[in-house]
Structure 1
Amino acid sequence: MSGSASNSRLRIVPILLAQVVGLACGIGGLWLNSQLLAPATLGFYGVFLSVVPIGAWVVHAGLIKYANRHWAASSARARLSRDLVAAWARRLPWLAALAGVAAWVMPGRHSAETIFLGVMLFIAAALLSLGAIAQAALQARQAHWRDCAVTVGSSVTRSFGPPLLYASLGGSAFLLWLGFGLHAVVLAALGWWMLRADWRGPVMKASAKTDFAAAYEGPLFTTLALASWIVSGMNRWLIASFHGPTEAGYFTLMGGAAVIITAMLGTAILQYAQPGLFALGDQAARNPTPLARRADLLALSYTLLAALALGSFQLAAPLLIGPLINPIYANALGWLLPGGGFGIATMTALIYHNLLLAGRRERACGPVDLTTAAVLIGGSAFSAATSLPGLKLWLLFSPLVPWLLTRTLARHYLFKPAPAPAL
């Protein structure tokens, strides 16, 4: 075995270790949340958690994608890091406005909480974005052990910080928000500390200011990111709005646990395969077939592994009531497969999104991602307004959407002979 092949295979060790620790923290958080938080409290906190990615997934999404795609090839990383942070700061007023609107319309809030809620949403969302930029850069340059350290620190503080702070200081909802804010501080600080070798370097006089491609900075990726954020959090909002905070708490606990499993598998597979996918993408202009086949293999492998993990969790779940899960959450078990099914759907769609990025078909992400999002949003909204069993059935079968729709559209645009230039 050659040294390069051996090193390539060894990359999976820190990637898997980060996901295993994250899963262990998720299990610990599952137990802790079910013991310390009432379903209605967890439901409201779950809605808060659905909003905080608005920075990383919407306002700063283009910067994160740019770092992920271009950091490794950059010869002026000190300059790039400063330009990324400056661009992050320029977008903060937009994030503040969106956080204020989200705090005002959030279901279950009290009017007296709105200002503090908006402030905490803004701070947590901004720091999550900053940490996500650092992690995207670490992953791009394949610094997997340092990225593993960031992921482990983030998993521990996210899973245990908020509920422990809530229980130890009086049981007020703002303590959950404060605990999550402290988690965001740890993520951002640890991420940029691990990246210090790059940003501490001198800015060379010859290095030009970063010209962020419009495809990453312009309205295209902002629109796509907004759609992705809505898809990721809408089910908690829909359940809380149509069926109350207690049912939303059930979904947050077990649906969230299922999504942790499916997301971790998908993250590990994508993180390991992404360098090879982008390398094939550099040759896709001549022959896109190998790239398309690689994406199909990734999507199929992920779907089968995620379904197997989810089915195993479902079989074991009844045995966990009591030892791991507070019996007051027994009714939450019905959300495990539906929540996990929706997680599989969104992660599979993300694989085909990365196929288009690798093939330099950035503009094609618009029709592909937005059509997929429209179907997922419409299906969830209609079924949630109709009945809870209808929503569960829709979520359970939602993994068919990326296979029947997203894959078909992505391959159509990938194989077009003359791709349109990026915006």
Structure 2
Amino acid sequence: MAFGADLPRRLVPIIAGQAFGLACGVAGIHLTTALVPPDLLGPYSIFLTFAPVGMWAVHAGVIKYTARHWADAGHRPELLRQITRAGARKLPWLLLACAVGAWASGGTAWWLLLPLLFVTATLLSIATLTQTALQAARDHWRDSAVLSAAAVTRSFLPPLLFSAAGGSAIALYLGFGVHAVIFAAAGLWALAGTLQATTGAPRVPAAVPEVYEGPLFIGLAVTGWTLLSLGRWVTAWFFGPTETGYFALASNLATLAPAVLATIFLMYVQPVLFAARIESAEERLALARRVDRVALFHATGALAGLVVLRLLLPWLVGSLIDARYAGIIERVLPAGCFALAITTGQFYHVMLLAGRREAGCGPAELSAAAVLVAGTVISAALGMDWFLRWLLISPVVPWLVNRPLARRALLASP
């Protein structure tokens, strides 16, 4: 797999940021399990699935447009104004999604959580847009600094505020809200530096193209967000709050390997693929083969990391992780495999965007999502054992569904 001559210059800050975030996440898990009981962590984890609904669903098309066009925009301030207007138009939809999330997380106290969730989700969208622009501009050191600030606040603020408030559940939610404020502020500060590095006349469309704001990307975004949250939602529905707490912590641990590796690979290859000239059949085939290699390398590394984590867990529970969370041991590997199924599909999404075959994303991703959702719900209805078995085999889905459908769309004659 040829990464390019600029490998050290670009990969060092990417890996440094991810490594620091990983260290903060591990320390945060130790702190959270020591301070927060499983029956409170479960409902809080449902809140956390709705907090990123803006970045993962409502504003996903705008974020993808930023990733695709920021690097080659002749006048970035104008592009930023365009992106801001497009994002603001979607805030009523974000408020509606947050109302559902507040009800699911807080029950009768939903009205207390709604303003906090709406502000938090909006700030996370802003933070993600700034990070996307930094990554597209290959300004990896600034992006790494933003990621590091977010890792500290996300990992430590919620459990510390929970403890300082004497075990008040609302303090957990407030802690995450403060994290969102700091994350967005750091992102905007870092982005201000890249706005100076722009020359020439505006070279952007008059508006965000329909393909990024229309039903295709909205549907794909909602689907992706649903898959990310599916395990916790299904566990809460079928198995109760304590099991949800176990599964949430298992997911937090298990997602590290596939998510960190996917982030590193995508942050490195995505700007290169988007900048490449991909028009002829030979260039499209070369793109497909390169993405296959990257996806396979990611899957192999993630599976190895998950196996190592599973072998270490009996020792980690009781030392790094509080003993009352011993129930996560048998759930970590299945949760990690499901995360791997999701992250593998992202490589074929990027492949279609790079090849300007955006319409092909729909059949590939919606078909795979249908299989993953159906398998997860049906297996959970059959009991915990079947649920965990299904999660273990779920990584085959993107190779059997996403890959062939995405390649067919990429390589088809225009």
Give the TM-score range, shorter chain.
over 0.9
* Residues 257 and 336, structure 1, Cα contact 8 Å, conserved in 2: yes
Q: For 1:307, give the aligned amino acid.
A: L
* Residues 284 and 410, structure 2, Cα contact 8 Å, conserved in 1: yes
CA positional deviation for 1:203:
11
- Select the residue among 338, 345, 353 that pairs with 1:342: 338
Q: Distance in 1 between matches of 2:150 and 2:346?
A: 22
Q: TM-score, normalised by structure 1?
A: 0.93
* Cα deviation code 1:260-296 (max 9, x no counterpart): 2220111001111112322446345553110000010
Q: For 1:322, give the aligned amino acid.
A: G
Q: For 2:175, give the aligned amino acid.
A: G
Q: Which residue of 2 aligns with 1:38?
A: 37
Instruction: Compare 79-88 and 120-129 and name the one that shifted more.
Output: 79-88
| C-alpha spacing 1:384/1:311, structure 2 compared with 1 (3 Å) | same
* Residues 56 and 125, structure 1, Cα contact 8 Å, conserved in 2: yes
Q: What does 1:126-145 align with in structure 2 at a 5 Å threshold?
A: 126-145=122-141
CA positional deviation for 1:26:
1.1
Q: Which residue of 2 aligns with 1:154?
A: 150
| C-alpha spacing 1:93/1:258, structure 2 compared with 1 (3 Å) | same
Q: Distance in 2 between matches of 1:205 and 1:328?
A: 60
Q: Distance in 2 between matches of 1:284 and 1:5?
A: 22
* Residues 53 and 128, structure 1, Cα contact 8 Å, conserved in 2: yes
1:25 aligns with 2:21: no
1:77 aligns with 2:80: no
| C-alpha spacing 1:31/1:80, structure 2 compared with 1 (3 Å) | same
- Select the residue among 271, 278, 283 that pairs with 1:275: 271
Q: Which residue of 2 aligns with 1:393?
A: 389
Q: For 2:166, give the aligned amino acid.
A: G
* Cα deviation code 1:181-222 (max 9, x no counterpart): 111111111111101034478998866774211111111101
Q: For 1:151, give the aligned amino acid.
A: L
Partner SS state of residue 167, structure 2: coil
Q: Which residue of 1 aligns with 2:48?
A: 49
Q: For 2:215, give the aligned amino acid.
A: P
Q: Distance in 1 between matches of 2:396 and 2:200?
A: 50
Partner SS state of residue 11, structure 1: helix
Q: Distance in 2 between matches of 1:329 and 1:91?
A: 39
- Select the residue among 307, 320, 324 that pairs with 1:324: 320
* Residues 258 and 340, structure 2, Cα contact 8 Å, conserved in 1: yes
Instruction: Compare 7-16 and 148-157 and name the one that shifted more.
Output: 7-16
- Select the residue among 381, 403, 411 that pairs with 1:415: 411
* Residues 73 and 203, structure 2, Cα contact 8 Å, conserved in 1: no
Q: What does 1:367-382 align with in structure 2 at a 5 Å threshold?
A: 367-382=363-378
* Residues 313 and 329, structure 2, Cα contact 8 Å, conserved in 1: yes
| C-alpha spacing 1:227/1:5, structure 2 compared with 1 (3 Å) | closer
Q: What does 1:184-333 align with in structure 2 at a 5 Å threshold?
A: 184-199=180-195, 210-280=206-276, 282-284=278-280, 287-333=283-329
* Residues 79 and 199, structure 1, Cα contact 8 Å, conserved in 2: no
CA positional deviation for 1:97:
1.1
Q: For 2:37, give the aligned amino acid.
A: A
* Cα deviation code 1:224-244 (max 9, x no counterpart): 000111111011011011100
Q: Distance in 2 between matches of 1:350 and 1:16?
A: 19
CA positional deviation for 1:301:
0.1
The alignment-based identity, stated in percent, is 44
CA positional deviation for 1:8:
3.8
Q: For 1:373, give the aligned amino acid.
A: A
CA positional deviation for 1:245:
0.5
| C-alpha spacing 1:192/1:284, structure 2 compared with 1 (3 Å) | farther
Q: Which residue of 2 aligns with 1:356?
A: 352
Instruction: Compare 121-130 and 201-210 and name the one that shifted more.
Output: 201-210
| CA RMSD in angstroms, aligned pairs only | 1.9
Q: Distance in 2 between matches of 1:35 and 1:329?
A: 10
Q: Distance in 1 between matches of 2:202 and 2:186?
A: 30
CA positional deviation for 1:87:
1.8
Q: TM-score, normalised by structure 2?
A: 0.95
Q: Distance in 1 between matches of 2:292 and 2:347?
A: 9
Q: Which runs of 4+ in 1 moved over 6 A?
A: 200-209
Q: For 2:79, give the aligned amino acid.
A: L
Q: Which residue of 2 aligns with 1:61?
A: 60
Partner SS state of residue 6, structure 2: helix
CA positional deviation for 1:403:
0.7
Q: Distance in 2 between matches of 1:356 and 1:245?
A: 39
| C-alpha spacing 1:90/1:274, structure 2 compared with 1 (3 Å) | same
Q: Distance in 1 between matches of 2:252 and 2:186?
A: 25
Q: Distance in 1 between matches of 2:112 and 2:281?
A: 51
* Cα deviation code 1:365-398 (max 9, x no counterpart): 1111111111111111111121111111111110
Structure 1, unmatched stretches of 5+, are 419-423
| C-alpha spacing 1:139/1:8, structure 2 compared with 1 (3 Å) | same
* Residues 166 and 176, structure 1, Cα contact 8 Å, conserved in 2: yes
Q: Which residue of 2 aligns with 1:421?
A: none
CA positional deviation for 1:82:
1.7
* Cα deviation code 1:101-128 (max 9, x no counterpart): 222234xx340x1111121211111110
